[in-house]
A and B are shown apart, each in its own frame.
Chain A
Amino acid sequence: KQEVTQIPAALSVPEGENLVLNCSFTDSAIYNLQWFRQDPGKGLTSLLLIQSSQREQTSGRLNASLDKSSGRSTLYIAASQPGDSATYLCAAMFSGGYNKLIFGAGTRLAVHP
């Protein structure tokens, strides 16, 4: 079964710290992977989308990498700020499961001043 896992479920860091969020998946035949941010009571906002042919994508202080052989993606947040506090979810689309994104349960991040 194709699954996406995010560990840890929650993370608390001091402001200014560089941090890495992890996403692992069970099938190396991944088509693409997206990272999302969700604020309490809100919908999800797409942060980065990585195609299977790419190794990483960057947007501002965010960098996402994709390693198909190890079944891992990481989201790197540089110089974290309290405004980064949210739940971060990753979602993968696998070859053979087109148009069906499979989500991880998310990592709840708290950045404290």
Chain B
Amino acid sequence: NAGVTQTPKFQVLKTGQSMTLQCAQDMNHEYMSWYRQDPGMGLRLIHYSVGAGITDQGEVPNGYNVSRSTTEDFPLRLLSAAPSQTSVYFCASSYSLEGPNSSPLHFGNGTRLTVT
């Protein structure tokens, strides 16, 4: 099992450019999410999905779009990159975060994004 796979590992963008961060999982997880990690601030939730066709906003959704057309994939789109979006982005998945059978969150290795 590959687990959660994120591509690319590194990316440099100029202000105003757009790009898509890819995330795929092979564990048949219903829940998928995107976080950004900034120094001293912990991880902050950008968007999440509880199944194909269902997405919702997290704590810091502005400037980002997501879609979930399949169970396996959950891409994150930056519409018009800004220097404030310089960060490390993590994708994570789980069978479910709720209920008596809530299960741990599995993380990818991250994408380090720099916007100049």
Which residue numbers of A lie inside 8 Å of B, CB to CB? 4, 9, 31-32, 34, 36, 41-46, 49, 51, 89, 91, 93, 98-106
Contact = CB atoms under 8 A, between A and B. Distances in A.
Given A34-B104, A43-B90, A44-B107, A100 B40 contact: no
A41 B90 CA distance: 11
Given A43-B90, A43-B110, A31 B98 contact: yes
B6 to A, nearest CB: 8
Contacts of A100: 45, 48, 58-59
Given A44-B90, A49-B103, A100-B59, A105 B41 contact: yes
Interface in B42-65: 42-45, 48, 50, 56, 58-59
Interface in B77-116: 90, 92, 97-98, 100, 102-110
B5 to A, nearest CB: 11
B34 interface: no
B74 interface: no
A99 B48 contact: yes
A99 B56 contact: yes
Nearest to B41: A105
A105 B33 CA distance: 18
Interface string B23-48: 00000000101010000111111001
Contacts, number: 69
A46 B109 contact: no
B76 interface: no
A93 B99 CA distance: 12
Given A4-B42, A31-B98, A46-B106, 6 more contacts: A32-B97, A41-B110, A93-B98, A100-B58, A100-B59, A102-B45
B66 interface: no
A36 B33 CA distance: 16
A61 to B, nearest CB: 18
B4 interface: yes
Contacts of B90: 43-44
B97 A99 contact: yes
